[in-house]
Amino acid sequence: GDSVTQMEGPVTLSEEAFLTINCTYTATGYPSLFWYVQYPGEGLQLLLKATKADDKGSNKGFEATYRKETTSFHLEKGSVQVSDSAVYFCALSDPPNTGNQFYFGTGTSLTVIP
Amino acid sequence: GAVVSQHPSRVICKSGTSVKIECRSLDFQATTMFWYRQFPKQSLMLMATSNEGSKATYEQGVEKDKFLINHASLTLSTLTVTSAHPEDSSFYICSAQSGQGSQETQYFGPGTRLLVL
């Protein structure tokens, strides 16, 4: 079945460091891929998404490219800020095969220190 | 972007009482909404899919008589935790689906933290 595997955290970085959070997926068909961010005490916010192979989603300096050949959707940011401290979830949606259900990774906690 | 609200944001109740949580899509209509439960430091677990005008579809292991879901309109779904017990304490998050096909996206509410004493 469909699933998402995320790198385990927690991740601690200094401000302005480069960030990569790995995400790989398994899917029957051609899913859409998402990154969500959850700030402390809040719900999930959509950060970016990509709906087909080679698409690049980007938002707030974060980027992720849909790589079909490696079944990956790694999240990157060139220079993190303290305000980026949050939990990041990779997710996929594969409606033709799994209906409306989203599959989430386990989340990666990021702490950015000044 | 699409906005989803939840009310209340936080609730504390006594064991044995029922609690209702509302989920609203504020600027779009959602025929489908979802209810998730999140335990501390864990990912979201889908509890049920709520469809406007029809019965909810529950995931395996979720008690439909305990977690009552009503999707009364295209902008409102409610989750009622009946006869709540301390083990029901959790963070409940709803989402509403917008768009179709490849443009389909789920937008999440801010969550409701339930504490049952």
Question: Which chain B residues are Cβ-neighbours of A41 within 8 angstroms?
Answer: 113
Q: Where does chain B show beta strands of DSSP type E? A: 4-7, 10-13, 19-25, 32-38, 44-51, 57-58, 67-73, 76-81, 90-98, 105-108, 112-116
Tell whether B1 lies on the interface with A, counting CB pairs under 8 A: yes
Percent of chain A with pLDDT over 90: 68
Which residues have C-beta within 8 Å of that of residue B30, sequence separation ≥ 6?
Answer: B52, B74, B75, B96, B97, B98
Q: If you average pLDDT over residues A11-36, what whole number do you get?
A: 94
Higher pLDDT, A45 or A112: A112
Q: Determine the pLDDT at residue B97.
A: 84
Question: Which chain B residues are Cβ-neighbours of A89 within 8 angstroms?
Answer: 43-44
In the block, residue with structure tokens 């909810």:
B56
Question: Which chain B residues are Cβ-neighbours of A5 within 8 angstroms?
Answer: none
Q: If you average pLDDT over residues B32-38, what whole number do you get?
A: 92
Q: Determine the pLDDT at residue A100.
A: 66
Tell whether A1 lies on the interface with B, counting CB pairs under 8 A: no
Tell whether B40 lies on the interface with A, counting CB pairs under 8 A: no
Residue B1 has pLDDT above 70, yes or no: no
Q: If you average pLDDT over residues B89-107, what whole number do you get?
A: 82
Which residues have C-beta within 8 Å of that of residue A24, sequence separation ≥ 6?
Answer: A4, A5, A70, A71, A72, A73
Q: If you average pLDDT over residues A16-42, what whole number do you get?
A: 91
Residue B102 has pLDDT above 70, yes or no: no
**Banded pLDDT at B8 (limits 50, 70, 90):** very high
Interface test with A, best of B25, B31, B41, B43 (most A CBs within 10 A): B43
Q: If you average pLDDT over residues B2-17, what whole number do you get?
A: 93
Q: Are B81 and B66 in contact (CB under 8 A)?
A: yes
Tell whether A100 lies on the interface with B, counting CB pairs under 8 A: yes
Specify which residues A75 forms β-bridges with: A21, A64
